[in-house]
Amino acid sequence: MIDDRRVWSWLIIATAIGGLLYFLAPVLTPFALSALFAYLGNPLVERLAAKRMSRGAAVAIVFLLMTMAVALLLAIIIPALIDQARSVPGYIDALHAWYDRVAAPWLQSEFGFSLTAIDPGRAFASLRTHLDDIGRFAPKLLGGLTTSGAAVIGWVANVLLIPLITFYLMRDWTHMVERLRLLIPRPLEPTVTQLARESDAVLGSFLRGQMSVVFALAAMYATGLSLAGLKFGMLIGIVAGLVSFVPYLGPVVGIGGGLISAIVTGGDIWVNVALVLAVFMVGQLVESFFLTPKLVGESIGLHPVAVIFAVLAGGQLFGFFGVLLALPVAAVILVVLRHTRERYLASDIYGAEATAPADATPASAATADTATPTPAAEATAAASAPSAPSMPIKDAST
């Protein structure tokens, strides 16, 4: 029987923790981001430390590599993406002109199909208007952040705090995990430890495995499309790579954007289309035969639908902090649901124990009857057995 007081105690604790997370979300955001970086870098630290390197030196090397990667992202890739995104509205007119000059006459002559009722010109004009609005809104947003003193102080504080907290978390990760384990009540420690290990396996398979595949594909697509000389090649490639954790969505988005880029780039359209298809075909082959087997393997991680729902729900409840918290919480919930399912299948409610003896009874009874015959059966068998012919006994004297 479940103790009502214990249930109420856990509900009160969960409510208090949820309330604290909700009100302290802005403060906890840099700590959550630092914990994410430390979690991603800790396996490499452990490998370096296992090769007779001090943990401090291993942490310093990994921290330097992560800092260089983030600096490269902020200094080169993001400005290039912003420039390409701002130039998108200018090519809407080129796409509209290509449609009027090539696509519309071909559709009319080959299929008798016309889009006059839909008015493509109005659709292109509306699309350009919205893109122009986005292009004007982004600089205003960035300008507001730079002119607001409180916002500047907050950004500078986060920029300084996140690397510092990340370094100390990576350095003391093993000790902190062990101290947390020692705080768990002894009767619950084996179960909680097992759940934590399985949650780490699920979360690690997604973050360290699937996300490595996503970033590798983004780099491959962006590099291939840029080398092909296509407009917005880096932007299309990175977007296609980042959405590749949803099966088939990455190639669909990338090929769709690549075909549009092939039209507005100029030159031979069919050559551009062939280059787009070649880039994504090579990317899919590399993912199927190398990236996924090596980085993800056969591990069962988070389902893409669960990831999308968790990120959206976390963002709705706690903002950006909720987005960072969504995947660990989803991994824990998944593991708890697996254990709950296993216990349910082995419980009396499901009927597993009642079904197994009933199925085994006839077989066991038949085995017993066959193996150990009763005394009456032995007597009957002896009486019905044919008697052996008697042999004459010779006199010893003869």
Is residue 375 included in any domain, yes or no? no
Is residue 33 included in any domain, yes or no? yes
Is residue 161 included in any domain, yes or no? yes
Supply the range of the domain harboring residue 116: 24-173
Is residue 95 included in any domain, yes or no? yes
Q: Identify which of 256, 211, 259, 261 has the alpha carbon closest to the alpha carbon of residue 233.
A: 261
Q: What contacts 332, CB < 8 A, 6 or more positions away?
A: 195, 199
Is residue 167 included in any domain, yes or no? yes
Please state, in angstroms and rounded to a whole number, the distance separating the CA atoms of residues 164 and 149: 23
Please state, in angstroms and rounded to a whole number, the distance separating the CA atoms of residues 230 and 267: 10
Is residue 250 included in any domain, yes or no? no
Predicted confidence at residue 62, as pLDDT, reads: 93
Phi, psi of 291 (to 5 degrees): -65, -55
> What tens-digit pLDDT sequence spans the chain (398 residues)?
456 677 788 789 888 988 888 888 888 888 998 999 999 899 999 999 988 888 889 999 999 999 998 888 778 777 877 777 777 766 776 777 777 777 777 777 766 666 554 555 565 566 556 555 555 555 554 554 455 555 567 677 777 888 999 999 999 998 999 999 999 888 888 988 999 999 988 888 788 788 888 999 999 999 999 998 888 888 899 999 988 887 788 899 999 989 888 888 877 888 999 999 999 999 999 988 888 887 776 555 678 888 888 888 888 888 888 888 888 888 888 898 988 898 888 888 887 665 555 444 444 444 444 444 544 444 444 444 444 444 444 443 43
CB 90 within 8 A of CB 55: no
pTM: 0.67
Q: Based on the structure, what is the number of domains in the chain?
A: 1
Q: Which two tokens stand for residue 329?
A: 């919480």
Is residue 270 included in any domain, yes or no? no
Is residue 44 included in any domain, yes or no? yes
Q: Which two tokens stand for residue 281?
A: 């075909």
Each residue of 175-186: pLDDT tens digit?
999 999 999 888
Q: What contacts 67, CB < 8 A, 6 or more positions away?
A: 163
Q: What contacts 316, CB < 8 A, 6 or more positions away?
A: 322
